[in-house]
Amino acid sequence: MSCAHAVSAEATTSPNYRVDSAAASALLASTGAQDQVEWPATARLRAADNKTTTADDPKAKKLRFFFSTAADLALLKEVGNLRPYSAGHGNKGQLYETVAANMSESFNAALTARMVKEHLVSEFKAEDQSFRKKSGIEETYMEHKQLTDIVSQVNEIQETKSTSKARAQDKADRLLSYGEVQRNQATKRRCQRLVGSPANAVATPAGTMAEKAAPIGKAQSTPAAVTPAPAGTSVPQTRQRVSTPGKSRGNQNATIASYFEFQMQYRDEKAQQARMLHIKRAKIKRATSRWTEELEFKMAKAAAEETKWVGEMAIRRDEAAIRRDEIELRMQELAC
């Protein structure tokens, strides 16, 4: 494009743009390539509709994409079709990338998943849906405002996931605490049985030495000093607590918690089965009573029809007898 053509194009397209002839001549003299000079107004014309950059140079700064009403509607359709906000873990980013790729292809722009998501959230998250739910049944409902509903669905799904995680964590904590309490109670009861049980008390005669029973486990302990026990008294057996290899407390708690969870699940399943059996029995009972009533009704109907038929036959016999009597009487009259 020549300088004259660029100036004429600038003058015809931008009335408020003023061309400095001295600056233009200096620019042409410094570059030495008049046909390669492109004026800013021409560059802006080439960059219309966000389809090109300010120049053909790939290093030039790219123009920013502004969402129009058509872009909002396209975004609405893409998000409503793919529903990336309700995808499982690991698939949300891929679906948002697909939305961005489809939008970029449709509007000839370089959009990313982050740009699409930020526009979707920042533009419509603060919108209040009450202005579309006013009095009346013929309220105007613009199509691009449906993006607010999508944001509401995103928030609801996030809240549901957070609530589910919190509920599962609370249940695990309750089971763990309950298992710890049960374990402590069982340990205390076992210690009480070992120490205070009469079966473990051994009576020692007078003048003899009471010996402590050797503990069960790895360690063996010998009393340092033994004092004679008075006559007629019983010396309880004591056991030394020995650490035995096994599961740690955390593993034991986890095992107990899983056991109680299994028991609770088993109890819930039994209750559910009992309810289902009760419902099925009620259905069978209702169906049986209905069939019985239908059978009784059909039997009564058949008996009524049979009674009606018998009555009709008796009436016909009577009519036939009367007819015969009339014929005989007529014949006697004719004979006389």
Q: Average pLDDT, stretch 143-163? A: 69
Q: Do 12 and 82 share a structural domain?
A: no
Question: CA 291, 294, 299: angle at the middle one, nearest 5?
Answer: 125
Quick one: which of 172, 150, 173 has its CA closest to 80?
150
pLDDT, residue 28, reads: 43
Q: Do 25 and 114 share a structural domain?
A: no
Q: Do 160 and 110 share a structural domain?
A: yes
Residue 306 lies in a domain: no
Q: Do 112 and 43 share a structural domain?
A: no
Q: How far is CA 124 from CA 82, 86, 151, in A?
A: 18, 18, 7
Residue 119 lies in a domain: yes
Residue 297 lies in a domain: no
Q: Average pLDDT, stretch 305-332? A: 91
Using a 10 angstrom Cβ sphere, with 0-12 exposed, 13-18 middle and 19 or more buried, the burial of residue 183 is: middle
Q: Do 39 and 110 share a structural domain?
A: no
Pick from 16-25, 186-195, 259-268 the range whose average pLDDT is largest: 259-268
Cα gap 331→312, rounded to integer Å: 29
Residue 204 lies in a domain: no
Q: Do 163 and 74 share a structural domain?
A: yes
Cα gap 160→175, rounded to integer Å: 22
| Domains held by the chain: number | 2
pLDDT, residue 208, reads: 44
Q: Average pLDDT, stretch 306-313? A: 91
Q: Average pLDDT, stretch 66-95? A: 79
> 77 lies in which domain range?
64-128+143-167
Quick one: which of 194, 77, 219 has its CA closest to 147?
77
- Give the number of other CB atoms < 10 A from CB of residue 147: 22
pLDDT tops 90 at residue 327: yes
Residue 308 lies in a domain: no
Q: Do 113 and 69 share a structural domain?
A: yes
Cα gap 163→156, rounded to integer Å: 10
Residue 295 lies in a domain: no
Residue 152 lies in a domain: yes
Taking all residues of the chain, what is their mean pLDDT, rounded to a whole number?
Answer: 67
More confident residue, 190 or 325: 325
User: How much of the chain exceeds pLDDT 90, in percent?
Assistant: 11
Please tell me whether the overall predicted TM-score, pTM, comes out greater than 0.75 for this model: no
Residue 307 lies in a domain: no
